[in-house]
Structure 1
Amino acid sequence: MSKLNIIFILGTLEEHKCGVSDYVRRVCAYLGKKEYNCTCIAINDKHICTEKRIRTKLTGTENIELLRLSSKITWWERIQITKKRIEALNPNLVSIQFVPYAFNSKGLALPLIALILFTSKKVKWHIMFHELWVLQNNNDSIKNIIKRIIGEAQKTIILAITYICRPNIVHVSNHSYQLRLASYGICSDILPVFSNIPFIPIKETITKNSNSWKFVIFGRITEFWNPYELLANVEKARIKHGIDHCEFLSIGKTGERGKRIWQDINILAKTLYPAFTFHYKGEISQEEISLHLQTSDFGLSTTPSALLQKSGSVAAMLSHGLPVIVSRISGQHDTLKKTLMERERFILLNKDFQDKLGTVNKIDRPTDSFYEIIKKFESDLSRAYN
């Protein structure tokens, strides 16, 4: 039986610098061991400076090609290179791994429309929307008016991409995105994000103080996250359950604004919460990330509850057995039911928070959701190209 050819289109293929790049690499590494040949084309790779293009194989594979096109060459040239590669391989499916800002600094992915228009109409398309357009804000400041304009432009482009390529299948990572697309007549299936951080067993025995709690926040800290209500409730729970000390650890790329927020929390806590300590690690290796996730008691998420399924950081916490504290509760009740209430691994910042913090424990033998998700991915794709 001849192998199936799939081409993945994304922004960059830089390893450990982009969640979508790591996502695609892991998917392809798995598919490559089965009846697939995969080609990954990064059409806006800002991590390439010295060459126009780099063509390699995925480490440890023979049938996974990586083609990285520098953002420094013209879009016309990148579109032509990609078009010719698609025509040469005649794939069963072309998968667009969509993040607006991966293709343009303003999130205006117009080059994708050009690529689709110039590519043969015989091509079968798949789109995975890792992100959609920026939602509008009612604030009438100049900054938010600009955001609204950009958001409307992003939405128009996303709808145009979908209508022009007429994808055989559309995936989204969460119910909120599914509802947003459905309101414009676009049907989609949910494919949750899996963890890009492997569980790496700790070689040495680490002694932990049983009368302390360790909280870890992994990745970006957004300006919309209000930590102060959370800290006040953790303090009440600490006293209620007789906990002596709470450690808060930030790991991964927080962003400059997130780093400042963390520093401000640290300064304030020294006065208000003397039993709390805060540490900032920043970008560290996968081994170190896995170590800190294993030695923590709780994960902290700054992601709105309706979008938890799209968070690779939340997936990493869950795959390491951590209960995840959700402090940004979305107003979408139906979405909340589907994403949170059916699972007992989330602790919501509500009236039950203090009790749950003392009763919800880590899972001793965490499981990786990757294999369950990738099987659904395979099943859905088979419907797309058959």
Structure 2
Amino acid sequence: MKILFICSSLEAGCDGVGDYTRRLSAELMRAGHEATIIALHDRHLLSDSEKRTQHDQGFGISVMRLSDRLSWRKKILAAAAYVHSAAPDWVSIQYVPYGFHRKGLPFGLGKSLKKIACGLPTHIMFHEIWVGITRMSPLAHKFYGFFQARIVRALISGLNPAIMTTSNRLYQLVLDTRHIQTDILPLFSNISLTAPDPAYEDLIYRTLGIDSYNRSHYTVIGLFGSLYPGCGLEQTIGKQYLISLAEGKKLAFIAFGRIGDLKEYERLKRHFAWQVTFANLGELPENEISTVMQMLDKAVSGTPVEHYGKSGVYAALKLHKLEVLDSVSNCIPEYESEIATYNHFLDKRDFQAWNADFVAHLFASLLHSKAPRA
């Protein structure tokens, strides 16, 4: 199959959906399909447009990036011409409202995409939908979400997609309240499981004051990604310290990746100064992230439990066979039972199901099952 993806941006490391789309394209190419990508509203592009090859997993992917500075008329003309030239079997829309409009209100997007898709079979992946999804939401979110939901409905009406998917059970349930039927296409890990780097392991252990003789005397936990006040990390670390103490062990905590709130990290470090050994490794290349994950005994999630299904970080931790400690929850009472059941399913999935190649196979099978018959 030939698949053309449309997302908002393709700046590596700066747009999660763009990174997802590039990795999915690479895995589809590994399976023998053809894939190309249009970034329709790229805020990171210095020029008005560019055509080039981006690389992922050793595969070269042809892409066209269109700046957000271009008028929609010019973007529609350029993107439609690119689609016509590529002649794909499917056009796959990777939808995030804030990707296509800074305030998350991309009015008219459905009409624009209809012109770009040229009548080809279409798939929509809802990475995000709208805000204000629960009765507990602030009134302002409900008001905003009313218009975002209308945009989603207009998008569907304009494209008449053959397939619609989302990444998680929560969004599937919310979409269902508007009579929008979707399949779940689970996220995959954004970090590949690679062979650990012994030299880098030793460097980290030395930073923590751990050597091969006393590693069994430590419990090592870690947080990958953003840290922010209110994420409940203080309670989680405190609980793990008491558990380690009861087991006759010491506790070490590693922060790695784009940490976000450095002040909160320093506050936690001071708070547990006499109890827990801390290390902040900062942003790392993918192979070193995988090495760190394989060093951990447990991982802490900064993602609310209700959103595990749409978290690439959670997927990465599960691919690396880690127990994930909950640290924060959002109150969504309407879906609490369904979310708990779904999270139990996620926790028990085989680790290989979090691989990008596994999800690419699911996606290709879904497209094949709905392909127009001659």
Aligned to 1:230: 236
Aligned to 1:358: none
- TM-score when scaled to structure 1? 0.83
CA distance in 2, matches of 1:219, 1:344: 23
Cα displacement (A) at 1:169:
0.7
| Match runs of 1:20-35 below 5 Å | 20-35=17-32
| Match runs of 1:172-191 below 5 Å | 172-191=166-185
Aligned to 1:259: 262
CA distance in 2, matches of 1:230, 1:150: 33
1:279 and 2:279 correspond: yes
1:36 to 1:278, Cα distance in 2 relative to 1, 3 A:
same
| Match runs of 1:168-317 below 5 Å | 168-204=162-198, 206=202, 207-208=211-212, 209-244=215-250, 246-255=251-260, 258-270=261-273, 274-317=274-317
Question: SS of the counterpart of 2:272?
Answer: helix
Q: Deviations over 1:64-85 (max 9, x none)?
A: 3111112222232112211222
Aligned to 1:77: 74
| Match runs of 1:1-386 below 5 Å | 4-49=1-46, 51-59=47-55, 60-61=58-59, 64-110=61-107, 112-119=109-116, 122-135=119-132, 145-204=139-198, 206=202, 207-208=211-212, 209-244=215-250, 246-255=251-260, 258-270=261-273, 274-329=274-329, 331=333, 332-340=336-344, 343-344=347-348, 369-386=355-372
Q: Deviations over 1:225-259 (max 9, x none)?
A: 22233233223212222212x2222222233xx33
Q: Gaps spanning 5+ residues in structure 2: where?
A: 203-210
Higher relative CO (Cα under 8 Å, sequence separation at least 6) belongs to 2
Aligned to 1:348: none
CA distance in 2, matches of 1:338, 1:378: 23
- 1:95 touches 1:128 (CA, 8 Å); kept in 2? yes
CA distance in 2, matches of 1:29, 1:251: 26
CA distance in 2, matches of 1:111, 1:24: 23
- 1:75 touches 1:111 (CA, 8 Å); kept in 2? no
- 1:175 touches 1:306 (CA, 8 Å); kept in 2? no
1:334 to 1:162, Cα distance in 2 relative to 1, 3 A:
same
Identity over aligned residues, as a percent?
Answer: 28
- TM-score when scaled to structure 2? 0.85
1:111 to 1:88, Cα distance in 2 relative to 1, 3 A:
farther
1:265 to 1:151, Cα distance in 2 relative to 1, 3 A:
farther
- 1:321 touches 1:366 (CA, 8 Å); kept in 2? no
Q: Gaps spanning 5+ residues in structure 1: where?
A: 346-362
Cα displacement (A) at 1:181:
0.5
Count of aligned pairs between the two proteins: 354
